[in-house]
Amino acid sequence: MIFIEKLTGATRKNHSLLCIGLDPDQERMPEKVSVAEFNRAIIEATSDLVCAYKLNFAFYEALGDDGPSILKQTRNFIPDDIPVIGDAKRGDIGNTAKAYAQAIFTYFDFDATTVNPYLGYDSIAPFIEYRDRGIFILCRTSNASAIDFQALNTEMGDNKYLPLFQVVAGKAGEWNIHGNIGLVVGATCPEELKIIREQHPDMPLLIPGIGAQGGDLALTVRYGVDRHGEKAIINSSRQVLYASKGKDFAQAARQAAIDLREQINYHVKETIS
């Protein structure tokens, strides 16, 4: 099954645009619970509430020698009908990018990944060749310093200028010959999100930045969904994962996910009604 079909299927089955980021921070986890056990419990408690899971490679690489094994274990805990995004933000010259793509899509078997477009098309092409997988290109990210580069005006000729994030989005549209490209656009920049959705009405958007980062959920939904109220993957990590540090952590995470999904769905109805 290709990524976009799996995403649509999970969205409709679970009535959800919520993506949970499985980013383990041992300082915030319950004591005497391993990372693998923690992740498995969270997945078992929430898999009927999400449209996807996202695993940020950094949190697993920080675990040392066991990190890759725990990453793969966690990916395998997730039910087959839920898409899994490997948040690796890879971007390198063609031959290296080919190896990164093989690792993420073949060894770890992720359904999608995030990539950095700074090196241009040949750094992304090896990922695009996996036609059944999703590629989310960093476009307008949620961090405060994103404006250092992403908001810079770029001359397009004929005295026309566009901010760099719009140029990236435009290139992503040109490269999307297999229909497997999406964009990463932060909830912390709703006006830019609105522009990107208007210019790319059918492209899936991975949207981090709600919850701890302060993104406005109502605006995120209003500007992020497509005309059917879909194709917005709204990611939350800390807000769900660390709802409790006690023995009830999984149940607390489930309740946090239910509450967030209900809030998202309320705004979806408001948007498309």
Between CA 181 and CA 112 the distance in angstroms is 9
Tokens found for residue 216: 């406005």
Question: Which of the following is catalytic: 6, 13, 89, 245?
Answer: 89
3-state secondary structure of 75: helix
Active site residue 6: no
Backbone angles phi, psi at 102, to 5 degrees: -65, -40
Buried b (16+ CB within 10 A) or exposed e, 127-136: bbebeebbbb
Between CA 194 and CA 19 the distance in angstroms is 20
Residue 30 DSSP code? P
Question: Known catalytic residues?
Answer: 89
